[in-house]
Structure 1
C-alpha cells in the first residue's frame, strides 16, 4: 500500500468513513454490484471484511421505506453523470435501524459511458436521532407557545398529562409538577353544561380518532377546588416525523362572560325587553306546540288575545314613558292572577296574548273574566292623575279541529276585534260565524277610509333626517307617510298600515309614495333658478330619499317597471332613491327580493335593511343581498346607555356591517347620551330626535 493510500485510509478511519464502489451494467444501478471496504461492510451490520455483492442484495439491507429513494437518487446521479448524496436507513441482522450518509462521483469508461460510482459512506444514526428529537421538541414548543394566551395542556399517547402552561394551572388548580403522569380526565375534568355528565374527553377522543377535535361550546371545567367554569376546548394530535402520535395538545379558555352574554341574548330573542314577557315569536312557537299536542293527543287548550282599551289615551296625554311603565305594571299584575302553567306574552304595542294549557273553554272564559276584572280594577297614577283601564279579550279554543297556528291567532284577533265592536271591556269567544262578521266590519271600516284617502288625496309625506356622524355634509331623509283626514286629524301609519296589509292595499300605498317622492324631487329641481338647478344636478352627493317598501311589494313583479317609469317621467336620478326593506320582509320573499334588488341596484338605486337585529339569522342573509345601509333595530339603541347587552349587540352589528362594507344607521337616537355612545362605537349615521325631528315634506323645499 502506497503512502498516499495509507494516508487516505487513516483519514477515513479517523472520520469513521468507508469506501463503497458501485459497478453499473448498461448504465443501470439495480443490475450492478457493490464493493465494500471492511469498514463499509460493518456499517451494514455484516462481518467486517471486504465484500462484493449484487446491488439487489445490498437493497435487502436497506429499510423497506427507503429502497425506492436509494435507487432513484443513485440512478438520477448516473443519468446526470455528476454524482449524488443521500441519507438512508439500513436494518442490521439484529433488526436495529441505523442511518447512513453517502456521497459519490460517477466515473466513465473509455467510450464516455457511466461505468461505476465511487464514494464514501458513514454512520449518522446519532445525528439523526438528535435531529428527530429536536424536531419533536420544536413542534411541541411551537404548538404550546402559539396558544400561550389560553390554557394549554399536553399528554403522552396514553392520555397521561405531560405539561400545563401558566393559564392552565390557574384555571384547573393543578400545578405542572403535580399533574405530571396523571390522567388528563383528572387534571382537566370536563362536564357537559346541559347534562352535568362527563362526556368523552376531548384529548382521549383526539388520540382515539387520530385527528383534531374542534371547539366545543357547552363544556364546564370542574376545577381541583370544585368550582365550575364555562370553557371552550379543542384538541389536536402531536405527530412525529414518522407519522406516529406523540400525544395530544388541548387548548381551552374561560368563556364565562361570553356564555353569560350569549344566554342573555338568547333570552332577548324570546322575550319582550320592556315587560320581560315572552315576545310574539316565542309565543307563536308555543301556540304551535299546543296545537300539535291537541291534534296528536286530543288535548284541549285555550288562546286569549287582549287589547287594552285606554292605552292610547295614556300614551298621548302622558307620553311614551308613562305607557311603558303602565305595560310593566300590568304585566306583573296579570302574571300574579294566572296559574303557573299559563303563559303570558306581549304581542306588540298594547296587545297581549295568553296561552292556557289543558284548559277547557268554560274554564278559559272564567280566567278571561278574572283578567278583565283585574284590569278594570287597576288604577294607574301618573303626574297626580289617575286613569281607569279596560281590556277587550278574544278567546279561541285549541282542539283537534283547529287548523293552523296562524289561523288560531287570526281567530283570537277577530274575536278581540268583535269584543271592541260590541262596546269594549268585554270578552268574546270565537265562533265560525265571526269570520264573515269581522271581515265585513273590517272592509266597511278600513277599505272605505283608505279609498277615501286615495280619492281625496289625504296622504301626506313627512321626512325624518338621517345624519352622518363624521361631519360629512349629506342630505338624507327617510320618507314617512301619514293620513290627514277630512276632519284635520293626523293618522299615524301604525293605525292604518296593519289594515292595509290585511286587505291587500299596501301595493297601492307603496306606489303612491314612490310617485309622490319622484314628484317632490322634480318640484325641488323646478323651484331653483336655472344656474342653481344645473349646480344641483352636478352635485356629487344629491339629496337622498329613503322610501319604505312592504313585503307585498317585494313580491310584486310589476313594481320594477313602475319605478323605472316614474324615474323617466319625473327625470329622477336613481342614485337619489334608497329603498328601505325590513329583514322580515326580505326573508319571507328572499328569491323575489334578490332579483328585484339586483335590478334596481344596477340602475343606481341604493338599499337599506331596516330593523336589523330583530331576527337572529340576520348575518347569513346579508351576503346574498346587495345592501348599502344597515339600520340597527331601535330596540337595541333606545336604552344603550344603560343596557350593556344592547351595547354589545349594537357594537357587534356595527363591526360586522363595516367588515362587509356597509354603512350603519342607529335608529331611535332620542337623547345626547345615546348619541355620544353611538359616536364612540363608530356608527356612521344616526336617526332620531337627538339629531333632527319629523318635518312635512313640502313641495319645492328640499
Structure 2
C-alpha cells in the first residue's frame, strides 16, 4: 500500500489533535495527510466534501457520544473503515465498537500519554508510536478492502446460485455432516424441520434402482478413478413422486491426497428427462415406421451427409446403415441415365433450392455398391425446422426394374412379330406414314420394298407349319445381317415382308435388295433330311415429296413385287411411275391367300350387308 492516505480525525481535544499530528510527522510514512473535524456534524460535512481512506473517531464528542457514532458514520460513508478512539480502556466498549463495524479500537493513554512521548529519546519514542499508529490505520484499510471483496464474492455467489436455480450441498467428509441450501430442500418439497444433516438422509431419498449407481459415481470420484462427480438419479419428493435430479460436485484434498470436503449442486431435470423420453419414443416409432414401409428411404443433414437409411435402401444401394452414415449421399446414391452418364444428385439440388425435387430423367438407374443396376422411381423433399430452415432431406425411392422390363416387353410385343422378332405390320405402317411425312417436309428420299417368298408353300405342305416357322426365323436372322442398322424390316403376315430403306436412293436400294435375293438364292433350308430352295420376289417403290400416301406407295411396291414374280421370281423389280397408267397389276393368288390368313388371325374382317328387295 504505497498510495497517499487521507485520514479524517474526529477529535474534540485540540491538544490531542496536535499530538496525533506530531506522531504522524515523526513516522516513516510521508504520504499520510490528516484532516481534523471537531464534532460529528462537522465530520459529516467533511465526508460530503472529500474522500477519506480511513476515519479516526473519538467516541466522546461534544455533540454526539457512544458507539452509536460508528453506525451513523457508516450510513454516511459505508465503504470507509473506522478506527475507534476512547479516553478509557473499556473491554465492553471495545467489543461494542467492533460489533458496530469499527476495524480497530485504540485507547488514548496507550498512544498519547506523556510518559510514552517525553524523555531523552523523545524523537525515537514519537517515531515508534507514530509508526505503530500508521500500521494500525493501514491494517484497518486493508481489512476493510478484504471485507468488501468478501462481501462482493458472497453476493456474486448468491446471485449465481439464484440464477441457476440449483440446490447447493456441502459435505464435511471428516465429520460426516452435510449442509443443504433452502433451494435444495425446496426442490424436494422439504422444510427445515424435515431435514437431517447426515449422508443417510440424502441416500435414503434416492430411488432404490439409482442408489448403487450414485454410490459408484461418488466413490469413483473420491478414489480419483473418475475426473469429476456427476450423476443423474431420481429423488423422492415430499408428495410421494420421484423427480429426476442431476448432482455434481468438486472435492478439496489434503496433502496426503484424501478428500476432506466435497460441495456441489443439485438440479431438477425432470422436465428434460420427460422430453427425452418423449423424443426417444417418437424416434423409436419413426424408426419402426421407416423400417416397415416398402419404399427405400435415405435421410441426410443440411450438408448432404447421410443420417439414416432403412433396410430397403440398404438392399438397393448395397451399403449397410453403419457404413453409409456420415458419408456424402453422392457416394452412396449413385444415379445414372440409360447411357450410364452420371445424373445430378436430387438431394443436393433440394438442399440448394429448398423445394421438393426429383430426377429429371424419367428412367434413372441406381448403381449399387457392388455394381448391380436397379431402375428406380424417386422423389426428394426437404426436412424443415420449426422456423422453416432446411435442416436436411429425405429421399424416397423404390425398385421399378421388373415393372420397366414388363413395360418394355409389352411395348416390344405391340410392335414386333412374335415368331421372327421382326417389326410387325402395325409398326411398319406407323413408320411408313412417318417416313412419307418426312419426305414431304425435308424433301428427303427413301425406298419401300414389298417382299414375298417364292415356293414357301412347299415347306409347309411337305414338313408342316413347324418347319415353316423355323424357316421364317432363319430367313429373318439372315436378312437382318444384310441390311443397314437404320433400316426397318417387318413381317407383314404369312410369307410377306416389308422393308423401309431410310435416306436411300434407288441405286443403293437395288444393291441391298439384290443382296437379299442372292442370300436367299444361296441359302438351303434342311429339315428332317429334306432340302428346300426358296426364293424371294421384291418390289421396289421410291418415296419422295411427290408420294401421296402410304396406300399408294404400298400398292405400287406390291405391284412391282407381282411383276417380279411374273418375270420368273427370285428377283428385284422397281416400279416405274407412269401418271397416265390406269390399269394396275392384280394381286396373285398366293399374295391374296397370305393376306386373308393374316387378316383372319388379326380380326381385320368387316361385315357389310345389302338389303335384297323383290324386283
Larger radius of gyration: 2
TM-score by length of 2: 0.47
